[in-house]
Structure 1
Amino acid sequence: SPGSPSIIADRGLCAESEERLLKWLLSRERYNKLIRPVSLAQLISFFHFHLSLYRNYKTEQIMITNVWLTQNWVDYRLSWEPSDFDGIDKLRIPSRHIWLPDIVLYNNADGIYEVTVFTNAIVLSNGTIFWLPPAIYKSACKIEVKHFPYDQQNCTLKFRSWTYDHTEVDVVLRTGVASMDDFTPSGEWDILALPGRHTFSGSEPIYVDVTYDFLIKRNPLFYTINLIIPCVLITSLAVLVFYLPSDCGEKISLCVSVLLALTVFLLLISKIVPPTSLDVPLIGKYLMFTMVLVTFSIVTSVCVLNVHHRSPSTHTMPPWVKALFLVWLPALLCIRHPQNNSARQRLRQRRQQSWGLQKTKEASPGMDNPEWVGPDPGMASSPSSSPFLLSTGSYYLRKR
């Protein structure tokens, strides 16, 4: 078309102008990337900083954060008049060819302080530079495990210039909070807040710090379903040990099974929670206390089974055992004696008859071979049938 040649010509002119502008800006006589961009030594380079969170992970006391660092500053040496270069007011320059503030993550945990990719920097005609590099940082984070898995953590990202103090480079926060517009939610952690603050180091020389606080909360649903509920259910089985009859033979087996299950849960918690001796999780304390109680129940069950399987032919009951289990404990536990009237009457009759027989023997010492007889003189009984006769009525002795 008639307009196509002019468009191609304009694009070619623009490319030539950008090339000419880039050579002029980065010429050795005019620009040195090792020099801080100030016209006087007493001036401060103001560096604006902003953090955008993309993704966040948590491992053993290390927070892995995928962020975008928005940085901008003014370099007067990279300014030009747009009219001299065909109206070009914006230029993209590889960041390795210009001066960059040496901002690093101060509380780094893996020794990699640089950003992931040195992207191009956007340079405006007035010398303002925008640089937006992505970075994956691993920062040290102290984990509070006391309320696991219903815990909240406060991790920080502290950024500081590695060599420039506050008299040379001043870091200014663009906003008071980090941006979460491009954040990818995590299934394990919820971010409550991302405040940022501007601080100074306490020792000389004084450095400017920019610190972002990551207030995060753990999602407890996974651990509640797979850890807390099974642990509570298995623990409740330990109470049923005392309801099992001693003859079933499963009291000790149930106690040992519960103890082994609690040991497995304790090992799982030790693998999930970061190894630290500063604090012990409440669920760990609960499991240890429950294991002590289950161990005590095993000892108690052994004692119960030992007493249960004793018999008069093998053991003699001491008097203190009778007093403890037949007098003191029933009264303490509000346990009454069996209310079986027929059994009590038979016991009372046997006692009366035994007492009467003893009195009769004392009153008739000359009777050598007494014979039990009933109310009817015609009904006589031999001595071998006397126990039956004693339980049916009143009888007297007759000498043969």
Structure 2
Amino acid sequence: MKYFNFLVLYNSEKMDRRSTEALMNAIVETGYWRKDGKGAAVQLMFPAIYKLSCRMNVRFFPYDQQNCSFIISSWTHDSATINYHYERPTVNLLNFAQNDEWTVISFNFERIEQQFKCCKNPWTMLYAHLVYFFKLFELFFSLFLVIQRKPLYYIVNLVLPTSIITVVAVTGFFTPSSSSSERDEKLYLGINTLMTMMLMLLMV
């Protein structure tokens, strides 16, 4: 028996399977989900690297929280021939490798049926967070991925230094002149502030 993978990530940046998926492994259980014993349950187990773009909202940077969407379904088969189901509503993150910049808040599935004008039967699709996909009638699976940025790096390297520089710059305007009406302190303070700002811009 040979099984071909019809699963497609609809919003992938690359539609080349050879560069994203490898070592296809399918576990087939016949007579699984129909009372008459016809049909089969197929579990797809294979390593893959997917690239997709997410709409970013950086209004509250570096304390922002982002939502990313994965749209998974068959490109050519409706729910009458292939019907997708998830085993559990949340993605298993036990072996998830932590990221230095982002924290995963939630990662959930959603199964959606949509009717398309081209087709008689609905399509099974898996969705992932905040995806509005208007076609005719397919069954989609949604993966709702919510991530939050870790702000510590930006607080230490950007927020705190710029706050200190701002306080020093404002203080320079109120620094009193010396008894001889010289303003050397203000001049030195202003030059040091400008040099510090230049270094900060180079770092960022």
| Matching residue of 2:175 | 243
Matched to 2:10, the amino acid is Y
Q: Is the alpha carbon distance of 1:199 and 1:266 closer, same or farther for their aligned partners in structure 2, counting shifts above 3 Å? A: farther
How much identity, in percent, do the aligned residues show? 29
Bigger radius of gyration among the two: 1
* Structure having greater relative contact order (Cα 8 Å, sep ≥ 6): 2
Matched to 2:85, the amino acid is V
Using the TM superposition, give the Cα deviation of residue 252 of structure 1 relative to its aligned residue in structure 2, in angstroms. Answer: 4.3
TM-score by length of 1: 0.39
Query: Deviations for 1:71-107, whole angstroms, at most 9, x for unmatched residues?
Result: xxxxxxxxxxxxxxxxxxxxxxxxxxx1334111111
- Contact 2:175 2:185 (8 Å CA) reproduced: no
Query: Deviations for 1:11-70, whole angstroms, at most 9, x for unmatched residues?
Result: xxxxxxxxxxxxxxx5xxxxxxxxxxxxxxxxxxxxxxxxxxxxxxxxxxxxxxxxxxxx
Matches of 1:254 and 1:117, distance apart in 2: 61
> Which one of the candidate residues 157, 163, 177 is aligned to 1:226?
157
> Which one of the candidate residues 122, 135, 142 is aligned to 1:211?
142
Matches of 1:129 and 1:122, distance apart in 2: 6
Matches of 2:176 and 2:17, distance apart in 1: 64
SS of alignment partner, residue 139 of structure 1:
coil
Q: How many residues align?
A: 173
> Which one of the candidate residues 137, 162, 180 is aligned to 2:75?
162
Matches of 1:162 and 1:110, distance apart in 2: 15
Matches of 1:225 and 1:232, distance apart in 2: 11
Matched to 2:4, the amino acid is L
Matched to 1:172, the amino acid is H
Structure 2: any 5+ residue segments left out of the alignment? Answer: 32-39, 119-136
Using the TM superposition, give the Cα deviation of residue 153 of structure 1 relative to its aligned residue in structure 2, in angstroms. Answer: 0.7
User: Which structure 2 residues correspond to residues 129-278 of structure 1 after superposition, within 5 A?
Assistant: 129-201=42-114, 203-205=116-118, 206-241=137-172, 242-245=174-177, 246-252=181-187, 254-255=189-190, 257-259=192-194, 261-262=196-197, 265=200
User: Which structure 2 residues correspond to residues 1-400 of structure 1 after superposition, within 5 A?
Assistant: 26=1, 98-113=2-17, 115-124=20-29, 128-201=41-114, 203-205=116-118, 206-241=137-172, 242-245=174-177, 246-252=181-187, 254-255=189-190, 257-259=192-194, 261-262=196-197, 265=200
SS of alignment partner, residue 130 of structure 1:
strand
Q: Is the alpha carbon distance of 1:172 and 1:257 closer, same or farther for their aligned partners in structure 2, counting shifts above 3 Å? A: same
Using the TM superposition, give the Cα deviation of residue 226 of structure 1 relative to its aligned residue in structure 2, in angstroms. Answer: 1.4
Matched to 1:232, the amino acid is S
- Contact 1:103 1:160 (8 Å CA) reproduced: yes
Query: Deviations for 1:163-209, whole angstroms, at most 9, x for unmatched residues?
Result: 12344322222211111121122222111111111123465342221
Matches of 2:185 and 2:87, distance apart in 1: 70
Give the alignment's Cα RMSD to 1 decimal.
2.6
Matched to 1:178, the amino acid is V
Larger mean Cα displacement after TM superposition, 212-221 or 239-248 = 239-248
SS of alignment partner, residue 172 of structure 1:
coil
Structure 1: any 5+ residue segments left out of the alignment? Answer: 1-25, 27-97, 270-400
- Contact 1:199 1:209 (8 Å CA) reproduced: yes
Matches of 2:8 and 2:191, distance apart in 1: 55
Matches of 1:166 and 1:125, distance apart in 2: 17
